[in-house]
Amino acid sequence: MKRILLLAFLAVLALGATVVALQSPQQKPYKVVFDLTSSDPLDQQAVIRWIKEVSGVNPKNEMEVVMYGRGLDLVVSGKTTMASNVAEAIKSAKVTFNACAIAMKNQQVEKSQLLPNVQIVPDGIGEIVAKQTAGWGYIKVGH
């Protein structure tokens, strides 16, 4: 009888520990770089949504959106329909939007045409590789 009670007690403890582990929010923050090369509004909406979701899981998570190719349209005044969403995301100290200087040159986009607080990196692909080398996760934006 004591043995059955002991086993039941241990089972309850194990179940309780499992439930607590499943309910605990993610504790360790992570870093992720999003690769955006598309002007597709669904892709642009996806990256904005992911930023909100990743921040919601853990506000200490760091995110960077690197835009090259047609992805640049997300942060170019007059081309983007998501300017307010980008501005809201940039307010977080943990989110940056980086435009590729090579893509800007190829598309004849000047710095003055970028939304406020969008940064420029010399090479978008190089930026992504550097982030991965530094241990950042990588997500190719698509829908």
| pLDDT, tens digit, 9 for 90 and up, residues 41-99 | 999 999 999 999 999 999 999 999 999 999 999 999 999 999 999 999 999 889 999 99
Q: Residue 57 falls within a domain, yes or no?
A: yes
Q: Residue 89 falls within a domain, yes or no?
A: yes
- 12 to 4, 75, 81: CA distances (angstroms): 12, 53, 53
Q: Residue 17 falls within a domain, yes or no?
A: no
- The CATH number of whichever domain residue 40 belongs to comes to 3.40.1260.10
- pLDDT tens-digit readout, 2-39: 566 545 555 555 655 555 555 555 579 999 999 999 99
- Please write down the HEC assignment for all residues of 14-58: HHHHHHHHHHCCCCCCCEEEEEECCCCHHHHHHHHHHHHHHHHHC
Q: Residue 4 falls within a domain, yes or no?
A: no
pLDDT band at 102 (very low <50, low <70, confident <90, very high): very high
Number of domains in the chain: 1
- pLDDT tens-digit readout, 118-136: 999 999 999 999 999 999 9
Averaged pLDDT for residues 101-115:
97
Domain that holds residue 86: 27-140
- CA atoms of 20 and 110, how far apart (whole Å): 52
